[in-house]
Amino acid sequence: MAAVAKTLLAFAVTSVFTYEFVSTYSPIFVGEVKNLTVNEGETASFTCRGENLTKFRQIGWYRLHPRKLLSIGLTRKSDDPRLSVVHDDNMKWTLQITNVTRYDQGRYQCTVYFNRTSISQVAHLYVRGPRYERVNTFTASFGGTASITCEEKNIPQHTEVKWLRLHK
């Protein structure tokens, strides 16, 4: 047993009286978390892949700017029910955001915590808005009343439409 433990563990002296546990199997990322471009209303999935992402290490997902903790392991720390984390055999951790809005656009970070340190990767989420349609009609008769109609389709709620007269 002593020979097995010796090959798996090492101790580093951090001071005369303190020893720090150091694993010879530190986690590493395999590939990069990829930037995503999704349409508003779709699901965005960021995947963090690595080796040695065991159950003894903490995997965290953050939203950057402003920095906000979204999850640690499988536990959601955000009050946003659209967020979830799924994983496969501790090698692949995926942050899912359903029904994406333009306010979700920004940078997201996967962080692996181990032995009082961490490694991280960052990716950007780009959100495309819906396609807008505009139908303009103009009718007028000489000496009569002019009618101008502007119909907007697929515009976000609370969008303000203004009429402007450009020339006097």
pLDDT tens digits, one per residue of 54-110: 655 678 999 998 889 999 888 899 999 999 999 887 688 899 999 999 999 999 999
- Does pLDDT of 162 surpass 60? yes
The side-by-side arrangement of strands in the sheet containing 83-88 is 28-29, 44-51, 92-97, 83-88
pTM above 0.75, yes or no: no
State the pairing for strand pair 36-39/117-128.
parallel
CATH numbers and ranges of domains, the chain = 27-128 (2.60.40.10)
